A and B are shown apart, each in its own frame.
Chain A
Amino acid sequence: MKGVKLAFDKHSSTIGLISGLASLFYGLYLLLVLFLPIYTVDGIITGYVCLLHYNLNYYGKPIKLDSLSAVSLLSIPLLAYSLFSILVGLLFLYDYLKKNDVCVSIRRIFGNALAGTAMSGLLYGLLNVVLPVEVGQLNINLNTVTSAGYVYLGSSSVRISPLSSIFTSNLVFLGFTAFFLFVSSLAYVILVKS
C-alpha cells in the first residue's frame, strides 16, 4: 500500500477527521490531567499535588516526599504519550487540510490509540490507587495530649480540586480513551478494507 493515495468517500473522510481530532484532543486532555492540580492541601501542610509535580510546605518549609516524586517519574511516559498524541493529531490535520495522503497518519493514530489503552492503565493506577493512598497521608492532626498537657500543633486537610474531579473521573478518562480507540479503529478498518 506504499505511496497509494486512497480515495475516501465523504463518510470515511469524516471518520478519519474525527479520529485525527480525537488524537489531538486526547493528547491535550492528558496534558491537562498531568498539569492540573488534583489535590490541594491546607493547614499545617499547604500546597498542591499534580501528577507531574507537586509543591508542599510543612510549617512553611518545603518538603519532598519520595512517593510523590515516584508518581512524577511514573508520569513521564504519560507526558511523552500526550505530546506524541498531539503531534500525530496535528500531522493528520495538516495532511487532511493539504489533501495529502492520510493513510500513514491513520495508521499512526490507530497505533497511538492502542498505546492509549496501555497508558490509561497506568493513569488509572496513578489516579485511583497510588495517589489517593500517598496523598491521604497528608491528612494529619497533630493536636494531642502528652505528658506536657494539651498540645495544639494544628492539622491539615486534603481536598480534591473541583475542576480536576471532573477531568480525572474514571467515567471521563475511560470514556474518552474508549471513544478514541473506537473512532481510530473504525478509521483503520475502513482504511484496510479500502
Chain B
Amino acid sequence: MKSKDIASYVVVILLISFALISRVFPMPFNISIVSGSSMLPTLRTGDIVVGISTHLSKFNVNDTVICCFTFSHCIIHRVVNFTATYVVTKGDNNPLPDPQVPLKFAKYKVVFVVPFVAWFLPVLFAVSFYLYLKRKEVKAFLISFTEVEFVVFAVFLLMDLSFVSLVPVNYFSFATIERPSVELKGIWLVNRGKVLSINYSLSDVNLVNVSQCVAYIFNNSFSCSTNISDSSLLVTIPSEVYLKAYEFGVERINVSLKVILDKGFLIGNYSYVVNWRPLVLSEYAQNVTVFNPNYILMHTSNITITYMGYDPIFGIPVIIETRVLPPILVEPMNNFTIHVSPVKGSSYAYVEFTYKLRGRDIFERRKVSF
C-alpha cells in the first residue's frame, strides 16, 4: 500500500473522528445525524445537523441544541428553559421535557439542517454514477490481487467509525414518555351535605368505575353510591351516616373507595369534618330566619311569639298577646322563616323556641320591632 494512500486513510479517519471528539472536547462545530422521532416534525431520522459551539453563538429559548454527555450519548432537542447553571430541553414530539442538566452539557447550537432526502439520494446517485463510470477499473480491482484485504478492512472500519461518530445515542428516552398519575385535587361537600365531591388531577388515565364505596364511623359502616363526572367522583352520603355521627358526637367521617381506572385501580381513604353547630338566627323586616348549618334535621319546639306593647299610663312593657306555633323541622343546610305580623297595640315581639344540640337544650330568642 502506498504511503499516499495510508495518509489519505488517516486523514479520513481523523475527519470522521472529529465528530466523535467534538462530543466531549470543545470544538468550533459538530456534525451529527438525527436518530429517533423525538423532534418530529422538525427533525427526522437521517437528517444531518450542524451545530456551532455555544461559546461562539449563545442560544435562547426555542433554539435547538446538541447536548452531549459522553462520547456516545447526546440529545438534539429544543431549549424550553435555562438559567446560569442548568438547561431544560424537550423534544418537539415528546409529551414531557427532559430532566434538567447542567448548562455545560449544551455544547452546540444547531444552525443548519440537511434533510435526509436532500443528501442521501444525491450521495447514493453520485456514488452509483461514479462507480458506473469507473466500472472497468472497479471490476479489474475486485478480481485482482492488489490490496483487496486492506480496502475491505478500510471500508468497513470507515463505515464503523462514521456511524459511531455521527449517530449519537439519546439519553432519557423513557423519561419523556408520559406516565399516568392520579393526585387528589380536593374534597368538598355539595348538595347540602348529601354528596361528597372528590376531585382528582388525572394524567393519562381515566376513571372508569367504583367497585367499592363505604362510609364508616367507628365500627359502623354504610354502603354509599357514586357517580363519575370527568375527573371527579360524586359520592352520595347516606343520611344515616350523619345521624350516627351526631349520635356519637363524631365530627370526622371516613369514606373508603376502590376506584377502577382504565390502566389499573386506586384505593383511597378520605375523611372530612362535620361541625355540629347551633342554629343560626337572623331578623329582618319582621321575619326571623332560622338556618340549620348541620347535615341532619333539627327539631325546634316550644315556638312562641310574644307580642309586647307599652302601658299607656305607666309606659312599661306589657304583654299584648302570646301565640304558640307548632314544632318546626329545619332541613339540613336549609332555612325556615317565621313571619311576625304586628297585632293591635304591639310595638315589638319576641320569637322564642328551644332545640337540642348534642344533648344540650338550647333556648333562642329574637326581638322583632314593628
Please say whether chains A and B are actual partners in one complex: yes
Given contacts A147-B183, A151-B182, contact A66 B38 (CB under 8 A): yes
- For the complex, what is the distance from the CA of A106 to the CA of B184, rounded to whole Å? 71
Q: Are B170 and A70 in contact (CB under 8 A)?
A: yes
Q: Does A32 contact B (CB under 8 A)?
A: no
Chain A minimum-CB-distance residue to B35: A70
Q: Are A107 and B148 in contact (CB under 8 A)?
A: yes
Interface centre among A1, A107, A115, A151 (most CB of B within 10 A): A151
Q: Does B127 contact A (CB under 8 A)?
A: no
Please name all residues of chain A whose beta carbon is closer than 8 Å to the beta carbon of B62 when the two chains form the complex.
none
Q: Are A114 and B265 in contact (CB under 8 A)?
A: no
* Chain B nearest CB, measured from A96 CB (Å): 16
Please name all residues of chain A whose beta carbon is closer than 8 Å to the beta carbon of B157 when the two chains form the complex.
115, 118
Majority secondary structure, A binding face: helix
Within 8 Å by CB of B263, from A59, A65, A125, A138, lies A59
Q: Are A147 and B184 in contact (CB under 8 A)?
A: yes
The proximity string for A residues 53-79 relative to B, scoring 1 for CB distances below 8 Å and 0 otherwise, is 000001100011111111111101100
Q: Does B276 contact A (CB under 8 A)?
A: no
Please name all residues of chain B whose beta carbon is closer than 8 Å to the beta carbon of A142 when the two chains form the complex.
179-180, 264
Q: Does B282 contact A (CB under 8 A)?
A: no
Within 8 Å by CB of A107, from B145, B156, B265, lies B145
Q: Which residues of A contact B (CB under 8 A)?
A: 1-2, 44, 58-59, 63-74, 76-77, 80-81, 84, 103-104, 107-108, 110-112, 114-115, 118-119, 121-122, 125, 129-130, 134, 137-138, 140, 142-143, 146-154, 188
Q: Are B150 and A146 in contact (CB under 8 A)?
A: no
The proximity string for B residues 32-52 relative to A, scoring 1 for CB distances below 8 Å and 0 otherwise, is 010111100000010000000
Within 8 Å by CB of B160, from A68, A77, A107, A151, lies A77
The proximity string for B residues 192-222 relative to A, scoring 1 for CB distances below 8 Å and 0 otherwise, is 0000000010000100000000000000000
Please name all residues of chain A whose beta carbon is closer than 8 Å to the beta carbon of B182 when the two chains form the complex.
146, 148, 151
Given contacts A142-B180, A148-B182, A148-B184, contact A115 B267 (CB under 8 A): no
- For the complex, what is the distance from the CA of A138 to the CA of B173, rounded to whole Å? 10
Please name all residues of chain A whose beta carbon is closer than 8 Å to the beta carbon of B275 when the two chains form the complex.
none
Cβ-closest 4 pairs across A and B: A66-B36, A111-B152, A149-B268, A111-B149
Chain A minimum-CB-distance residue to B150: A111
Q: Are A108 and B148 in contact (CB under 8 A)?
A: yes
Interface centre among A59, A134, A148 (most CB of B within 10 A): A148
Given A77-B163, A122-B163, A152-B266, 7 more pairs with CB closer than 8 A = A71-B169, A77-B159, A111-B151, A118-B153, A121-B160, A149-B184, A149-B267
Please name all residues of chain B whose beta carbon is closer than 8 Å to the beta carbon of A63 when the two chains form the complex.
177
Majority secondary structure, B binding face: mixed
Q: Does B168 contact A (CB under 8 A)?
A: yes
Q: Are B173 and A74 in contact (CB under 8 A)?
A: no
Q: Does B269 contact A (CB under 8 A)?
A: yes
Q: Are B261 and A153 in contact (CB under 8 A)?
A: yes
* Chain B nearest CB, measured from A119 CB (Å): 6
Q: Are B174 and A69 in contact (CB under 8 A)?
A: no
- For the complex, what is the distance from the CA of A129 to the CA of B267, rounded to whole Å? 40
Q: Does B143 contact A (CB under 8 A)?
A: yes
Q: Are B156 and A153 in contact (CB under 8 A)?
A: no
Q: Does B289 contact A (CB under 8 A)?
A: no
- For the complex, what is the distance from the CA of A154 to the CA of B263, rounded to whole Å? 8
The proximity string for B residues 133-152 relative to A, scoring 1 for CB distances below 8 Å and 0 otherwise, is 00000000011111011111
Q: Are B156 and A150 in contact (CB under 8 A)?
A: no
Chain B minimum-CB-distance residue to A78: B160
* Chain A nearest CB, measured from B156 CB (Å): 3
Within 8 Å by CB of B144, from A2, A64, A151, lies A2
Q: Does B167 contact A (CB under 8 A)?
A: yes
- For the complex, what is the distance from the CA of A143 to the CA of B180, rounded to whole Å? 10
Within 8 Å by CB of B145, from A1, A69, A151, lies A1
- For the complex, what is the distance from the CA of A122 to the CA of B160, rounded to whole Å? 7
Q: Are A81 and B156 in contact (CB under 8 A)?
A: yes
- For the complex, what is the distance from the CA of A104 to the CA of B72, rounded to whole Å? 37
Please name all residues of chain B whose beta carbon is closer than 8 Å to the beta carbon of A154 when the two chains form the complex.
263-264
Please name all residues of chain A whose beta carbon is closer than 8 Å to the beta carbon of B36 when the two chains form the complex.
64-67, 69-70
Q: Are B265 and A110 in contact (CB under 8 A)?
A: no
Please name all residues of chain A whose beta carbon is closer than 8 Å to the beta carbon of B268 when the two chains form the complex.
148-150
Q: Are A67 and B169 in contact (CB under 8 A)?
A: yes
Chain B minimum-CB-distance residue to A105: B148
Q: Are B169 and A150 in contact (CB under 8 A)?
A: no
Could you tell me which residues of chain B, from 49 to 92, have a CB within 8 Å of some CB in chain A? 72, 75, 91
Q: Are A153 and B164 in contact (CB under 8 A)?
A: no
Chain B minimum-CB-distance residue to A68: B173
- For the complex, what is the distance from the CA of A107 to the CA of B200, rounded to whole Å? 70
* Chain A nearest CB, measured from B155 CB (Å): 8
- For the complex, what is the distance from the CA of A142 to the CA of B261, rounded to whole Å? 13
Chain A minimum-CB-distance residue to B257: A149
